[in-house]
Amino acid sequence: MGIIETHIHLYSDEYKADRNALIQQAIDAGVEAFYMPNVDVHSIEPMFAVEKDFPQHCFAMMGLHPCYVKEDYKEQLAVIERQLASRTFVALGEVGIDLHWDKSFLAQQQDALNIQAEWALKYNLPIVIHSREANAESLEVLKPYMQRGLRGVFHCFSGSLAEVTLLKTYGWMIGIGGVITYKKAGLDTLIEEIGIGQVVLETDGPYLAPVPYRGKRNEPAYIDIIAQKIGDVLHMPKEAVVEQTTANSRLLFGNSFRNSK
């Protein structure tokens, strides 16, 4: 069973020089699928280009990232909605709330998240949540949708045991990436409470490279390092981590998109 990489920005300019080689290297190393989150209206076409080059392995999401929610967010959301209506996507994402860089657009981020959560239900798509220094705010918006059956994943999770418990109650997945290899992050302790049954693997490349590559460009093949670290923490063989996280990914995202394009 191959690895499913649930969150990587393969269309990023940081991969421009060697993108195809890096993707092929990861495929050869056992990655069977890459799920690509959209960020704004400008990333759509580059993302589609990667999908076209690797149609059996690279799959697009559609959404407006909270860091790109600015004065024009409703115009951007109109483009996002047209895309959602025009074809099939593996998920709606990445969306959410980010209060790390700028708190001045919180109201707009909350509105955008509400709108996109409604779309996820409308189109029967899992939602991929970006929540940075904003878990309370994100969950306040999302909980009513969870109660209506919204399913999804908290990407690059960093939160409390109480938040883990809430997400598990609603059957949500938790995305674990390179941060688990950072000594002071505390994620290695938290994952013991999460358990492997609701974890999916991600790199968030080109960002957040795992140790020993921290601070450098994160590459698709580094997903293997993350799987190994999770196995070390949970005292499981890496192969068992891959098998369970891939099953988790298939449960959340499904396989119907493979035959829908």
Assigned token pair, 106: 């919180």
196 Cβ contact list (under 8 Å, min separation 6):
230, 234, 236, 240, 241, 244, 245
Tell me how far apart the alpha carbons of residues 89 and 48 are, in angstroms, rounded to a whole number.
11
- Residue 100 is labelled as binding a ligand: no
Q: Does 9 belong to an annotated binding site? A: yes
For 23-30, the CB contacts below 8 A with 24+ separation are 23/50, 23/54, 23/57, 23/58, 23/220, 25/220, 25/221, 26/219, 26/220, 26/221, 26/223, 27/54, 27/57, 29/221, 29/224, 30/2, 30/3, 30/224, 30/242
Instruction: Tell me: is residue 81 an annotated ligand-binding position.
Output: no
Q: Is 94 annotated as a binding residue?
A: yes
CA 112 to CA 12: how far, in whole Å?
23
7 is in an annotated binding site: yes
Task: Detail the residues annotated as belonging to a binding site for a divalent metal cation.
Answer: 7, 9, 94, 130, 155, 204
Task: Detail the residues annotated as belonging to a binding site.
Answer: 7, 9, 94, 130, 155, 204
